[in-house]
Amino acid sequence: MTIHDRPEAVDTPQSQSRRAFLKTTAATATAGLVLGAGAEEAKAFAYEPYPTDDELETVVTSCAHNCGSRHMLVAHKKGDVIVRLSTDNGAYQGDAYGTDTEEKPQLRACLRGRSYRLRLYSPERLLYPMKRVGKRGEGKFKRVSWDQALTEISQRMVHLKDTYGPTAIVDQSYAGASYGVLHKSDQIEGLLGRFLGLFGCRTSSWSVPSYQGTTFSSRTTFGTIEDGNEDDAFAHSKLIIMWGWNPAYTFHGGNTFYYMRMAKQRGCKFVLVDPQYTDSASAYDAWWIPIRPNTDAAMMAGMAYHIWDNGWHDQDFINRFTQGMDPGTMPAWAQGQESFQDYISGRSDGVPKTPEWAAEICGVSADDIKKLAEMYATTKPAALKASWAPGRNAYGEQYNRMAAALQAMTGNIGVLGGCAEGVGKAWHAEAVAYPYDEFSNVWYASIKSDRWAHIVLNYPNVSREEAGLWPRNDHLDGVIPNIRGIFWQGSDWFNQLTNINKEIAAIRKLDSYGEGESLLVCMDSTITPTGIWADYLLPIATHFERHDVALPWYKGHYYIHRPKAIEPMGESKSDFQVFTELAYRLGFGPAYNPKANRDYFNNPDWVDEAYLVDWWHNVQSHQGVTWSWEEFKKRGVYKFVLPEPHVAFRDQIEHGVPFNTPSGRIEIFSTTLAQTPDWTRTQYGYHIPAIPKWIEPWESLNHPLTEKFPFHMISPHPRWRTHSIFNNIPWLRETFSQETTMNASDARKLGIQTGDIIEAWNDRGKVVTPVYVTERCMPGVVVLHEGAWMDLDENGVDRAGNPDFLTDDNPSPAGAFAYNTVLCNIRKSDMSHRPGWDQLSTARSHVFRRDL
């Protein structure tokens, strides 16, 4: 039985207010018939659900999660209930209402942020600790006390560590609670890593799903991931190439779109290189160049060829700042080795990477490749913004390195209006209020994040390169972890990593070890698809219910105060409270949370405040902030005003400061890669060439496998969700739905029309969705957004349409997650799509609201 066909409606706050609404509207209608007599009733309707501002208390805070930005939310509350959310209107920093300038723009929330109240009070909200009573994945839980949950978890942890060693428990914290300074869930700086490290049992997860290939490229080429400009720099570009970038959907900064519009008004031209025509392209009237997914590095190689062929490159820049762009910039120790130009011209391998050569691979005509190359090389300054999605691919690192080579050969680095972005982290925020010390990133094994299931399934017959095992200098080097436990904190990774069916098989293997020999813990504010697979669910207070400071996401120069806007709902606690209490039970409480005592579990406020005050003092001394902590708390947001737009590598280019690479130059030819003798001894495991190269991915539209699976599926990030967060929000689901986008000619061949239900499948899994037929997606490509809450039927088909049932966990050499390297087939289906969450988990809070 599904939620939707329950005989009695479930009593949620929404349904209660709806009933109240219906009652009062009925009363109003009657009152309207007998004028005057029903005035009392009508008044009740006018005031009840919508209290006026004078009756409400206003609290400035920020939105949260791993969404591409960080905006202000203003909570208007009555008592302890948030009844309305609004956002920055220019007034909250003490400026006049409406202030919104190029130098100090408003931090206005998007549709997700504005609907946050529905997440806060959703029926999926976790209010009590829960313990699994059914099979893993079945979704059956019962309420237990905190004491019982933490006692059982700590006992099991000790047993697993004692029996299976210091690598038995995997840390799968992720970015759900990043971008706060105190209550963090990051892989390295997070609260879980320090907790498990001090406990002495931790396998960490080292690769980042977002952009591991890009990180590798940025670090290799520039020696840093801080290769980004602040958003306002875009307003100075004459040409912006959105390469696999859709800022109308996937934010990479809070005001990117605003500054790009400013560029447009000043005459900037826009290009989109993407298999789909996006809303960003339509907003800026961009020239759309549809490209076969995964073939970007080939197209870029063709552009490099054409730029050299016509002498449009910036030789002076190349000579002064790069290593290995051409034979003349090869280091003395590598004379005679292959430079980038040797490769592009074909001198080294006999294959000139001409636009014609590239056209065969990427499906873009040689003429268009030439035209774009000319535009990019001859328009100054030009921003080639090579986003992460095309790098979220097999050999994705090659695409990002190739983009960096183009940015460098045209001299667009360190220049206002240019762009060196790979990862694109810009202004440097003071990120950690909580102790970040020798205990913060202790691990006994570190694996590529999405290989945990492969390791469990094949243990102990797993090679270090299959696991992506990070090298160590002690007896644990090369030891494959015997994984027996997982902590999910701030992550819905079971739903978000690659190849979910393989993860499910891994859970079944853990089951086979017997009750008590494995442990799955999920800490979250809502019941999630991952939580469904856990043994214990620990309810976590949201950022409205604990004290913190919000950080900008990659771009932006401001801090937003996050007071405790309301008391924690139900029995929820912050992650920090839970880990501290567990640490006390395991014997290292004071070391874990040095400012606290054990009372922290019940009274966290003064400790949190003490950490935040220390952090603010740091900010004051490092960043020239003049406000006191009290002033910051009063005003709610501190916006820095920079003397000029922040442009990455300006100092290197204008003042000769060396790049942070071994040679001090932009390394197109990488010193480190050229000098790596044995790749199997690195975390990467496989050979990576010293210069960027086109390498055929293991699945693409050029592959013979298209006989069986003729469509290439890409899975971008949705506008109406932050990954999986907000999937359960009715308002947002009304604006967009989970659907597969496909080209009209493909649909015609398959007899499919918009609104039909289709199934998409490959050897790894099958999903069901409605279809949207359009010319905005190129033939052969289908688009399905990531983050749908999986919903398996009895045959193992995902009726919700989560693309990670089709993705592959194969490791790309530099660690890129190959989310967009997927072939599949499509057909019309008579199975139903289940966009909501049909599976009734007994951990959903409304079950308890009703029963208690």
Ligand X SMILES: Nc1nc2c(c(=O)[nH]1)N[C@H]1C(S)=C(S)[C@@H](COP(=O)(O)OP(=O)(O)OC[C@H]3O[C@@H](n4cnc5c(=O)[nH]c(N)nc54)[C@H](O)[C@@H]3O)O[C@H]1N2
The correct pick among 210, 214, 769, 821 for binding Mo ion (CB under 5 A) is 210
| Cβ distance to ligand X smaller for residue 674 or 790 | 790
Binding mask 578-607 for ligand SF4 (x = CB under 6 A): ------------------------------
Contact region for Mo ion (CB under 5 A) — 138-146, 204-212, 252-260, 672-680?
204-212
Among 52, 109, 103, 54, CA closest to 85: 109
> Least separation, in Å, of the C-beta of 496 and ligand SF4?
17
* Class of residue 20 by CB neighbours under 10 A (exposed 0-12, middle 13-18, buried 19+): middle
By the rule CB under 6 A, 562 interacts with ligand SF4? no
Q: Which of 212, 577, 715, 743 is in the footprint of ligand X by CB under 6 A? A: 715
Judged by CB under 5 A, the stretch of 37-45, 144-152, 210-218, 598-606 that binds Mo ion is: 210-218
DSSP helix, strand, coil percent of the chain (3-state; round to 5): 35, 15, 50
Minimum Å gap between C-beta 273 and ligand X is 5
Q: From the list ligand X, Mo ion, ligand SF4, none, which binds 275 (C-beta under 5 to 8 Å, kind-based)?
A: ligand X
Compute the Cα dihedral for 305, 306, 309, 314 and give only its sign.
Answer: negative
Cα distance between residue 530 and residue 524, in whole Å: 10
Q: Does 105 bind ligand X (CB under 6 A)?
A: no
The token pair at 116 is: 């946050």
Tokens representing 851 are 């029963």
- Using CB under 6 A as the binding rule, whether residue 185 contacts ligand X is answered as yes
d(CA 255, CA 556): 8
The residues with which 559 forms a beta bridge, in sequence order, are: 638
Establish if 539 lies at the interface with ligand X (CB under 6 A): no
**Site for ligand X contains 566 (CB under 6 A):** no
Residue 63 contact among Mo ion, ligand X, ligand SF4, none, beta carbon within 5 to 8 Å by kind: ligand SF4
Taking the C-alpha atoms of 546, 550, 553 and 557 in order, what is their torsion angle to the nearest 10 degrees?
180
- Shortest-Cβ-distance residue relative to ligand X: 176
Rounded CA-CA distance 525/543 in Å is: 10
560 binds ligand SF4 (CB under 6 A): no
Measured CA to CA, the distance from residue 503 to residue 449 in angstroms comes to: 12
- According to the binding rule CB under 6 A, does residue 154 interact with ligand X? no
C-beta of residue 360 within 8 angstroms of C-beta of residue 289 = no
Burial 86-125 (b: 16+ CB within 10 A, else e): ebbebebbebeeebeeeebbbbbbbebbbbbbbbbebbbb
Q: Of 118, 124, 121, give the one whose Cα is nearest residue 141.
A: 124
Q: Which option in Mo ion, ligand X, ligand SF4, none does residue 329 bind, with CB closer than 5 to 8 A by kind?
A: none
Site for ligand X in 285-304 (CB under 6 A): 291, 293-294, 296
What residues from 212 to 251 belong to the interface with ligand SF4 (CB under 6 A)?
A: 251
* Binding residues for ligand SF4 restricted to 45-84, rule: CB under 6 A: 63, 67-71
Q: Please report the beta strands in 71-195, taking only residues with DSSP state E, as ranges in sequence order.
A: 72-78, 81-87, 130-132, 141-143, 169-171
* Stretch in the footprint of ligand X (CB under 6 A) among 225-233, 491-499, 600-608, 755-763: 491-499
275 contacts ligand X (rule: CB under 6 A): yes
User: Can residue 580 be called a binding residue for ligand X (CB under 6 A)?
Assistant: no
CA distance 89 to 96: 9
Spatial CB neighbours of 332, under 8 Å, sequence gap ≥ 6: none
Name which position in 819, 823, 824, 842 contacts ligand X (CB under 6 A).
Answer: 819
Q: Which residue carries 């409480």 as its tokens? A: 589
How far apart CA 432 and CA 181 sit, in angstroms, is 5
* CB nearer to ligand X: pick between 221 and 820: 820
Identify the CA nearest to 206 among candidates 671, 685, 675: 685
Question: Site residues for ligand SF4, window 98-127 (CB under 6 A)?
Answer: 109-110, 112-113
Q: Does 719 bind ligand SF4 (CB under 6 A)?
A: no
Distance in Å, CB of 252 to ligand X, minimum: 6
Q: Is 68 in the site for ligand X (CB under 6 A)?
A: yes
Closest contact distance (angstroms) between CB of 112 and ligand SF4 is 4
CB 212 within 8 A of CB 811: no
- Site membership for ligand X, residue 809 (CB under 6 A): no
User: To the nearest whole angstrom, how small is the minimum distance from the Cβ of residue 71 to ligand X?
Assistant: 12
Give the HSE-up count for residue 334: Cα atoms under 13 Å, Cβ half-sphere: 24
Nearest residue to ligand SF4, by Cβ distance, number only: 113
Footprint on this chain of ligand X (rule: CB under 6 A): 65-68, 174-177, 183, 185, 209-210, 243-246, 249-251, 273-276, 278, 291, 293-294, 296, 387-390, 392-393, 489-493, 496, 523-526, 528, 540, 575, 714-719, 721-725, 786-787, 803-804, 807, 819-820
Footprint on this chain of ligand SF4 (rule: CB under 6 A): 63, 67-71, 109-110, 112-113, 251, 722
